[in-house]
Structure 1
């Protein structure tokens, strides 16, 4: 009975992930469900349970925060910390310090000076913590399903949202929502360039441009369907990963933020399911997941055809960069119901080591 329940939970997590990618047709969903019904009584690995450890006083001075989504509606999201100096991992540091869980689905983290803003998607809140001690400093509520936090100064930030079709305007100092900017799409990652913020429209074919001086939408840039991830490179060009839908291919786009002109669009192979887009520390190379992990130099004239790191049966889910050891961090969500494993690779694609984290590791940010 327990094994069957665990497999049903696995099915639910996989369905949630694929539905968010807009890749299910009615026929494929039916076939998938029928296949899973045949295995609900099969054996399943028991998730490992690593105990939470106490925090040394100086442990969070230097390293990488790791967001673990947890299981949807289970309230078991967690925050891990990887100490890059000692090579040690500390699990569930928020709970260890604050004596309560962080919430349901920890989507992302933004570090601003001595504060960190934890975007907890299904708990409809942003937790504010001291970035060194992890002590809670407050909570911002009132969102529908927040995704990413973009700082624009001590008194202003934008927050994207899954269900609102808007970008929220937030005052971090006052810990309150002060307004919102209507956008005809669910909103995902954002990036600031001068007095502009470029916003990924996940359920449209556009990247939206907001004037930060007026908080008004001033432009929309037509690109492929499903803008999800966005980065700024060393030459101040913006790159956007779109996931596609049905016959619309997943693509990688290059935008000139000074003119808002689309300079380049590359289509990924048929059936691509891209996820995550990051830069190295010098912003001269891009990395993205499309089952495997691929590397692209910003001056490249075509997409890479050979993976830098092959998944080889692993479920690559999160992607980050360690600027101190010049390492690529790749999380393996495994079956979505046991703890993730993070693999450390050098920039040549050679494995350097790995460590366990929480469930469904999705996001990395360093301090």
Structure 2
């Protein structure tokens, strides 16, 4: 849950053919095999701010069963306050817990705890490369953020890299780490061989998410700067605010900028299909699909609703939309086919926001 305004299941199927039941035997007395979290979808859930009830849910794609809080189930303790995101690297799950300022580590197959990384400052997103984990940290408001480099042999910070304000999502491409700085209008480019910033790209105001297409072009979605007046109504100042934009970057150069019409709206949740030929994003409380070859933003709505998080299944291109109606009640996930028709839905934990597919 952000502390300021920025851009930033259903029915179980029993496949029991060929199973025959006989009398009890010694096999019945064997302990249940450990649950492995494969062929499914991890869903991170923020939880209610300062309540410490953030969670990771798991949707099993084989039987459509949902486990709403697998870390609590496997370890008998909560993850912490505001579960922001999660990544899996070298068989381990790294869960970024924003307001608890830590990363919880678990075995990706069993979700049994495997350590933690502490001493972080408002961490947001992480990605692994070789024996390192890169983590974006806001640090504080109104100052430059950073990317911490975690040595995974010791689970300690080996280096910090200063980037722009409020760094958010990250993307690895050609041994470079791209970091969107949501508190300004830049993308920091980090050389992963030297772990130093080698370039800073200027994009639209408040970049929040990014994706790469089939031609290795980088796409950056920007929410636009929102400026609010003072008391008593704190109304949005449209004259001082800027509209969101979708920026296409070829190499280190901005090739095209698509500007949205509304200054009041904050587009977000950029995602890409498996073939890397179609972009998806939220804008004006709706969900849009856009070909990467398009010369203008789409005007036709793809799905008529807003999402608190979006994921595209790389195996099927099924669209997963997270829905948060309240931070005091469980959220849900709705699945859509490639035509935008709803398939089914699942109840998960409070405040679903991100997906990771296995």
> How far apart, in 2, do the equivalents of 1:168 and 1:80 lie?
27
- Residues 178-202 of structure 1: CA deviation (Å, up to 9, x unaligned): 1101123121111112232111011
Q: Report the counterpart of residue 31 of structure 1 in structure 2.
A: none
1:176 aligns with 2:156: yes
1:96 aligned to which of 69, 73, 76: 73
> Relative to structure 1, is the Cα distance of residues 146 and 214 closer, same or farther in structure 2, using a 3 angstrom cutoff?
same
1:300 aligned to which of 294, 300, 309: 294
Q: Is contact 2:218-2:248 (8 Å) kept? A: yes
> Relative to structure 1, is the Cα distance of residues 87 and 174 closer, same or farther in structure 2, using a 3 angstrom cutoff?
same
Deviates most, 329-338 or 94-103: 329-338
> How far apart, in 1, do the equivalents of 2:243 and 2:175 lie?
31
Once the two structures are TM-superposed, the CA of residue 208 in structure 1 deviates from its matched residue by 1.0
Once the two structures are TM-superposed, the CA of residue 58 in structure 1 deviates from its matched residue by 4.3
Q: Report the counterpart of residue 181 of structure 2 in structure 1.
A: 201
Matches within 5 A, 1:13-24: 19-21=4-6
Any idea what SS the aligned residue of 2:322 has? strand
- When Rg is computed on C-alpha atoms for both structures, the one with the higher figure is 2
- Residues 117-152 of structure 1: CA deviation (Å, up to 9, x unaligned): 101101101111111100111101111110011112
1:161 aligned to which of 137, 141, 152: 137
Any idea what SS the aligned residue of 2:51 has? coil
Q: Report the counterpart of residue 236 of structure 1 in structure 2.
A: 216
1:74 aligns with 2:68: no
Q: Report the counterpart of residue 62 of structure 1 in structure 2.
A: 39
1:287 aligns with 2:272: no
Once the two structures are TM-superposed, the CA of residue 316 in structure 1 deviates from its matched residue by 2.0
**Size of the alignment, in residue pairs?**
315
Q: Is contact 2:335-2:342 (8 Å) kept? A: yes
1:116 aligns with 2:93: yes
1:366 aligns with 2:357: yes
Any idea what SS the aligned residue of 1:286 has? strand
> Relative to structure 1, is the Cα distance of residues 87 and 267 closer, same or farther in structure 2, using a 3 angstrom cutoff?
same
> How far apart, in 2, do the equivalents of 1:92 and 1:105 lie?
13
Gap regions ≥5 residues in structure 2? 9-31, 227-240
Any idea what SS the aligned residue of 2:243 has? coil
Q: Report the counterpart of residue 225 of structure 1 in structure 2.
A: 205
- Residues 9-42 of structure 1: CA deviation (Å, up to 9, x unaligned): xxxx8xx57x33279xxxxxxxxxxxxxxxxxxx
Any idea what SS the aligned residue of 2:339 has? coil
Q: Report the counterpart of residue 5 of structure 1 in structure 2.
A: none
Matches within 5 A, 1:334-349: 334-349=325-340
Q: Is contact 1:84-1:324 (8 Å) kept? A: no
Q: Is contact 1:108-1:118 (8 Å) kept? A: yes
> How far apart, in 2, do the equivalents of 1:201 and 1:104 lie?
23
Once the two structures are TM-superposed, the CA of residue 269 in structure 1 deviates from its matched residue by 2.2
Any idea what SS the aligned residue of 1:61 has? coil
Once the two structures are TM-superposed, the CA of residue 173 in structure 1 deviates from its matched residue by 2.5
Q: Report the counterpart of residue 272 of structure 1 in structure 2.
A: 265
Once the two structures are TM-superposed, the CA of residue 73 in structure 1 deviates from its matched residue by 0.7
Could you say which structure has the higher helix fraction?
1
Structure 2 length as normaliser, TM-score? Answer: 0.84
> How far apart, in 2, do the equivalents of 1:22 and 1:176 lie?
30
> How far apart, in 2, do the equivalents of 1:336 and 1:293 lie?
22
Pairwise CA RMSD of aligned residues? 1.8
> How far apart, in 2, do the equivalents of 1:336 and 1:275 lie?
20
> How far apart, in 2, do the equivalents of 1:150 and 1:60 lie?
20
Once the two structures are TM-superposed, the CA of residue 332 in structure 1 deviates from its matched residue by 1.2
> Relative to structure 1, is the Cα distance of residues 302 and 90 closer, same or farther in structure 2, using a 3 angstrom cutoff?
same
